[in-house]
Structure 1
Amino acid sequence: MDIFLNKDIVKNLDLSNYDIATYVAIRSIYHSTKKEFYISTEMLAYELYGCDIPERAIVQIKTSIVRLAEFGLYDIVQPLNKKSGSYVVKDKSLYFDTNEEGVYFTVISSDEVRKIMTLDSKKNKAALLRFFINVVGTFNRKHKINTDTGTKTNFVGFVSQSYIGSLSDINDGVAVDYFKILEDAKVLYVYRHNQAIKNNDGKLKSITNHYGRFEDRAYIEQFAWEYEENILGSNTKKANTKRALMAKYNFIVSDPEKNISRYTDDELVQIYKYVVSRNEKQQEIGLTDIRDLSVLENISCVQSYIALQESDVNNTDTTTDIDNMLDAMFDDEVGTTEEM
C-alpha cells in the first residue's frame, strides 16, 4: 500500500524521528473522508512493526501522538485512555491535495516501512525510516528513461550525501552508514561511477552517484549509463551498449515465455551474437563465466540466423554493421563480466 507524506512535515526538524515514524503510521490508516477517527499506540505500532513490537516503541509512539497534536496535525477530541494512549482525533492538517500547486509530497510503501522498522540493526530504526523518506524525496521527477515496457520516471536521485544528511540533521559519516545499511538490506541501490570529468578549472571531479530503490536497480543502471554517455562520449557509449545487451539477455532468460516477445527479431539476433562472442572471449582467456545459450537458440529468428551462418551460400558476405560494431566492442574489452 502506498503512503503519501507531506514533505513540509517530514523535513521539519522540530519533529523527532519517532514523531515522523508516528506520522507515517497515521497516514497509513488515514482516510480523508473521515474527519474524526480513532488512533491508539498499539494500532500505530502495529503499522510500523507488525506483531513483534519493541516495548520502547510503545513509549515513544505514545509521546509522539500528543506531540503531533501539539504540532497542529489534528486535535484530540476525546482521550479514551491516556494511560495506554488511545484517542479520538479530528483532522486539522493531515489532509493535503497532491494536485495542488506548491504541495510537495513523497510516496513510500507500507512494505518498505515494515522492512526498515524491523531491520536486524542496532541503529535507530525511526532515524533510518526518516532517512529513507528523505532519500526517496530527492528522486528527480523530470528525468526519465525509455524501457522495454514503456517510460520510467521518478525513480532516481543524484544529490550529495551531505545534502540528504542535512534533511535528517545527521552528518556525512552517519549518512554513509545509513546508505550502507539500506543497501545491504536491499531497500536502496546505489550506482557508483568510476569515471571522472573535468571542472571548468581543468581539475578532475568524480561523477555524483545515482541511487534509488533496490527494485529499480536495472533502471538506475540504464539511466547512469546514458548519463555517462552524454558527458563522456563514444567510448563510454560502446561499453554501455555491451551492458545493455547483457541486461536484455538477463531479462529474457529470467522469464523467456513472457519476455522474448518484447524484442524484435533483429534485437534477439544481436543479443545472441553478443553472448556467443562474449562466451568465446571468456573461454579464450580461461574464464568460466559462460552464459547458457539454450533459450536463445530455441527462438526461430535466431535459428534462422544460425542456419544462414552455417550454410555460407555462394560465399555471400553476411557481415552487417552490428557485426562490425560488436567485434569492435569485444576487441576493446576482453575478459570483463557484465551484470545488471
Structure 2
Amino acid sequence: MTKSSEENRLSQKVFLLNNVIRDKTISDNGILVYCYLRAIQRTDMNYYPISVDIMDYFFRHTFDIESRDKKKYVDGLNDLEEHGLIHKINEKKYNFEYDLEPIYFDPTKTNKENNLWFTVVYTDELTTIMQIDDKKSNVSKAKLIRYFVNVVSTFRHGKSWTFVLSDGKETDGVIGFSSIEVLSNISNISKDTVLAYNKILEENKILYIYRANDLLLIDNEISGITNTYGRYKYKKFIIDEGEDHKKEYGYCQSVESIKHKTAKTSKRKSLGVKYFNLVSGNKMYDKETIIEIYKYAVEFNKRHENDGYCENDLKDIYFFDQFPFITEDCLKNKDKAKRPFPIEEKSNDDIWGEADPLENDFSIEEIIDMPGMNETKHNIE
C-alpha cells in the first residue's frame, strides 16, 4: 500500500445508532462488525454479500489476515444475528450473504419522538484505529473502536454547541465533557482502561483532551469539572472552550469563590425542584420566584437542545403562558450570560486540565481514578 493511495482515499460518514453501540450485551467484535455494515449499507439494498477478507481490508487496507482474526469477524456477525440485527441468507466458509434491513435507519428522520439518537464517525477514523501498530499499543482494536465511537456519542449537539470552521461551514458535535466514570460505563470498560485508551487515541492524533491539573475541595471532598474531549482536528476549539470554562469554574484558593460555585449549583438544583412543584400543582410561588423558575427552564432547554441525554426532560415553556407577567423582558440581562456547564458536586471524576495532553500525562481526574500502589491492575481490557 503506497502513501499516495492512502492520501487519495476518501473518507465517508458512518451513522451509528446509540442504542446499539451502548448495548453492553453486544460483544466488542459485534460493535466492530456493526461499524463496517453501517459503512457499506445503502438505502436501496437489503441483501449484502459479506466477505471476511474484504471486511478486514476495509479496516486495515491489506489482505494479510490471520485465521484467528477471521474468527473474530465471524463471531461479530453471529453476535449481531443473535441480537436480531442482521439475518443470514447464505454462507460458504468465510463468505456470507446477510439481510441488513434491521440495522437501517434514516438519519434525517431521527428525533425525540422515535428516540433514534445516532452518532457520526468517519471511515478514516475507524481505519486509523485498526491500523495502530500492535508493537506500540498491544490492545484489543475492537474494544478501542467501541470506546472511540462511544466517546464521540457524548459530543454536544445543538445551536449552543455549534462552531464555525475555517472554511466558513458550521458544525456541532465537536466537544464533549463526560466524566471518566460515564465513559467507563457506556463503553463497558474499567476506568484505568479509559485512561490507557485516551493516551493511545491522543498519541495517534485521533482525540484531543483538555486535561485537568486543578483541584476543588468542597466539604473535604474532591469536586470539579470534567476534561474536555474532541477530535484532534478540532484542537483549537477544545482548548478555547476548556480555557473559558476553567476561568469560570477552575481552582481558586479563595474559600469564598468555592462557596460561590457551590451556591450556584445549589440554586440550580433548588429551581429544578421548584419547577417540578409548580407544574405539578403541588405549590404556588410569588411572582419573583416564578420568573426565576421560568428563566431556569429557558436556560435548561437552551443548554440541552438536541441533546439525546436530556431531550425527554426538556422543560415545558408553554406552561408559563398563563402568567401575564412572564414576557421576553424577563430574560434580559445586562451581563452577557456565560455558557452553562455541568458541575457534579462531590465527585472525583470531574476535573479540568491543561492545554497540551502530552506534556501533562494525567489530569487530577485521571490520577484519582488510577489504581493505588497496593493494587495490581496490570491487565488492560
Deviations 1:101-151 (A, max 9, x none): 211111111111111011112111111110001111111114426557455
Deviations 1:211-268 (A, max 9, x none): 11111110101111222244369xxxxxxxxxxxxxxxxxxxxxxxxxxxxxxxxxxx
Q: Aligned to 1:219, what secondary structure does the other structure show?
A: helix
Q: Aligned to 2:15, what secondary structure does the other structure show?
A: strand
**Higher radius of gyration, 1 or 2:** 1
Q: Aligned to 2:223, what secondary structure does the other structure show?
A: strand
Structure with greater proportional helix content? 1
Runs of 4+ off more than 6 Å: none
2:44 to 33, 44, 52: 33
* Map of 1:66 onto structure 2: 78
1:167 to 171, 183, 186: 186
2:127 to 97, 101, 114: 114
* Map of 2:269 onto structure 1: none
2:31 to 1, 16, 20: 20
How many residues end up aligned between the 2 structures?
233
Structure 2 residue 172 is the aligned partner of structure 1 residue 153:
yes
* Map of 2:236 onto structure 1: 218
Q: Aligned to 2:45, what secondary structure does the other structure show?
A: coil
Compared with structure 1, are the counterparts of its residues 158 and 195 closer, same or farther at alpha carbon in structure 2 (3 Å cutoff)? same
* Map of 1:141 onto structure 2: 157
Deviations 1:159-184 (A, max 9, x none): 11121011122111111111111111
Letter in 1 for 2:172: T
Q: Aligned to 1:186, what secondary structure does the other structure show?
A: coil
Letter in 2 for 1:185: N
Equivalent residues of 1:28, 1:47 under 8 A apart: no
- Across the aligned residues of Structure 1 and Structure 2, the Cα RMSD in angstroms comes to 2.6
Quote the Cα distance in structure 1 between the aligned partners of 2:222 and 2:124: 41
Q: Aligned to 1:5, what secondary structure does the other structure show?
A: strand
Quote the Cα distance in structure 2 between the aligned partners of 1:22 and 1:46: 13
Deviations 1:303-337 (A, max 9, x none): xxxxxxxxxxxxxxxxxxxxxxxxxxxxxxxxxxx
* Map of 1:176 onto structure 2: 195
* Map of 2:311 onto structure 1: none
Structure 2 residue 14 is the aligned partner of structure 1 residue 3:
yes
Equivalent residues of 1:194, 1:206 under 8 A apart: no
Q: Where does the alignment leave 5 or more consecutive residues of structure 1 unmatched?
A: 234-337
Equivalent residues of 2:162, 2:173 under 8 A apart: no
Quote the Cα distance in structure 2 between the aligned partners of 1:33 and 1:158: 37
Greater shift, 112-121 or 143-152, is seen at 143-152
How many percent identity over aligned positions?
28
Compared with structure 1, are the counterparts of its residues 147 and 5 closer, same or farther at alpha carbon in structure 2 (3 Å cutoff)? closer
Compared with structure 1, are the counterparts of its residues 115 and 198 closer, same or farther at alpha carbon in structure 2 (3 Å cutoff)? same
Equivalent residues of 2:207, 2:231 under 8 A apart: yes
TM-score by length of 1: 0.63
Alignment of 1:281-296 (within 5 A): none
* Map of 1:207 onto structure 2: 225
* Map of 2:333 onto structure 1: none
Quote the Cα distance in structure 2 between the aligned partners of 1:36 and 1:69: 14
Compared with structure 1, are the counterparts of its residues 232 and 176 closer, same or farther at alpha carbon in structure 2 (3 Å cutoff)? closer
Q: Aligned to 1:129, what secondary structure does the other structure show?
A: helix
TM-score by length of 2: 0.56
Equivalent residues of 1:196, 1:207 under 8 A apart: no
Deviations 1:272-294 (A, max 9, x none): xxxxxxxxxxxxxxxxxxxxxxx
